[in-house]
Amino acid sequence: MAQLTEKIALYLSYPFVQYALVVGVLVALCSSLLGVTLVLKRFSFIGDGLSHTAFGAMAIAAVLNLTNEILFILPATILCAVLLLRVGQNAKIKGDAAVAMLSVGSLAIGYLLMNLFSNSANISGDVCSTLFGSTSILTLSKTEVWLCVVLSIIVVGVFIVFYNKLFAVTFDENFAKAVGTNTDGYNLLIAVIIAVIIVLAMNLVGSLLVSALIIFPALSAMRIFKTFRAVTICAAVTSVICSFVGMMLSILAGTPVGATIVAVDIAVFALYTLAGSLTGGQKA
């Protein structure tokens, strides 16, 4: 036990571990807050689609040899988020098909571009670390950490300020629109925030696992709590704890960060489901 705490203390003394924990906790917080809205609006698939789009954007940034790739990935992902939401609202076009098309398409094109044009020596390594996060959370530069802190504060701030409106738009969009709430504007806001979160979270868990970070805490919290506020708070707390525990486990045991965090999320989901059914929290 003493050995373990010694080891933890040693690891925590590394700056890159401190950065990773700060960024990991912030990303987990942001993604879980919006996750509740996303899950309830039946938009979970958009998170998944966007993460693949972000992968495609990353590949393009790599091929163009941009020095600051996030400046390209972020706008590109936001653009796709807006497009996807627009399509999702249009009853004539099948929203899920459009999302599937866009996400698989950008995955394929991204991989193809990296294969054809990347001057890197280890393409499979590049692809793998982008998809599964690998250790990128532990190799953040100071600039990236600050960018993440600032964006996270903005996301949390926006969420708190627009909390009531987000609830209204999530629960009943038609009603909100009928009483004069600018629902299109709020949907746009949600899309933009989701895009920001996904780009941030890609460093943590990789683009394939991003949507796990968004939906699992929300789904877990919904097993137990019955009000929107409680679900939101519970999801945020759960997500932060899961990410922290997951990251500690992964650096102690040497397992991949993203996969470990998601595994912890899954375990907590199972636990909450059990607790929920025991207390009768969830109607069958």
Partner 1 sequence: MKKRMNIITCGLAMCLFAACGQTQSDSAFPVAVSQTEEAHQSPVQSDSTGQKDEEQEQEVDVDLTKLSSIMCYSEVYTMVTYPEQYWGKTVKMTGEMVYGMSSGEDPKYYFAVLIADALACCQQGIEFVLESGSNDPKDYPAIGSQVTVVGEFTSYEENGMTYCQLVSAKVLPQEDTQ
Partner 2 sequence: MAQLICRDLSLGYEGKALIEHLNFSVEKGDYLCIVGENGAGKTTLLKTLLHLHAPLHGTIEAGDGLRKDEIGYLPQQTLVQRDFPASVWEIVLSGCQRRGKWHLFYSSADKQLARQSMEKMNITNLSKRCYRELSGGQQQRVLLARALCATQKLLLLDEPVSGLDPKATEEMYALIRSLNQEGITIVMISHDLSAVASDASHVLHLGKKIFFGTKQDYLKSENVHTFDRKGDE
**Cβ closer to partner 2: 7 or 94?**
94
Q: Which is nearest to 21 in space by CA: 283, 190, 244?
A: 244
Taking the complex as a whole, the smallest distance from the CB of residue 136 to partner 1 amounts, in Å, to: 7
Which residue stretch of 26-34, 63-71, 237-245, 268-276 sits at the interface with partner 1 (rule: CB under 8 A)?
63-71
Q: Is 184 in the site for partner 2 (CB under 8 A)?
A: no
- DSSP line for the chain: -HHHHHHHHHHHTSHHHHHHHHHHHHHHHHHHHHHHHHHHTT-HHHHHHHHHHHHHHHHHHHHTT-SSTHHHHHHHHHHHHHHHHHHHH-TTS-HHHHHHHHHHHHHHHHHHHHHHH---S-HHHHHHHHHH-TTGGGG--HHHHHHHHHHHHHHHHHHHHTHHHHHHHHH-HHHHHHTT--HHHHHHHHHHHHHHHHHHHHHHH-TTTHHHHHHHHHHHHHHH--SHHHHHHHHHHHHHHHHHHHHHHHHHHT--HHHHHHHHHHHHHHHHHHHHHHHT-S--
93 binds partner 2 (CB under 8 A): no
Residue 89 binds partner 2, judged by CB under 8 A? no
In this chain, which stretch among 41-49, 169-177, 216-224, 246-254 interacts with partner 1, using CB under 8 A? Answer: 246-254
Q: Does 115 bind partner 1 (CB under 8 A)?
A: no
CB nearer to partner 2: give 131 or 224: 224
CB-wise, 22 or 100, nearer to partner 1? 22
- Sorted by sequence, the CB contacts under 8 Å of residue 187 that are 6+ apart come out as 85, 89, 169, 173
Q: Which does 250 bind (CB under 5 to 8 A by kind): partner 1, partner 2, none?
A: partner 1
Does the protein bind partner 2 through residue 16 (CB under 8 A)? no
Q: Is 172 in the site for partner 2 (CB under 8 A)?
A: yes
Is 62 a binding residue for partner 1 by CB under 8 A? The answer is: yes
Among 6-14, 131-139, 162-170, 251-259, which window interacts with partner 2 (CB under 8 A)?
A: 162-170
Among the listed residues 204, 159, 192, the one whose alpha carbon sits nearest the alpha carbon of residue 75 = 192
Comparison of 46 and 199: residue with beta carbon closer to partner 2: 46
Among 44, 118, 129, 181, binds partner 2 (CB under 8 A): 181
CB 41 to partner 2: min, Å: 7
Of 174, 253, 254, 278, which one interacts with partner 2 (CB under 8 A)?
Answer: 174
> Site residues (CB under 8 A) for partner 2?
40-42, 92, 161-162, 164-165, 167-168, 170-172, 174-182, 222, 225-231, 283
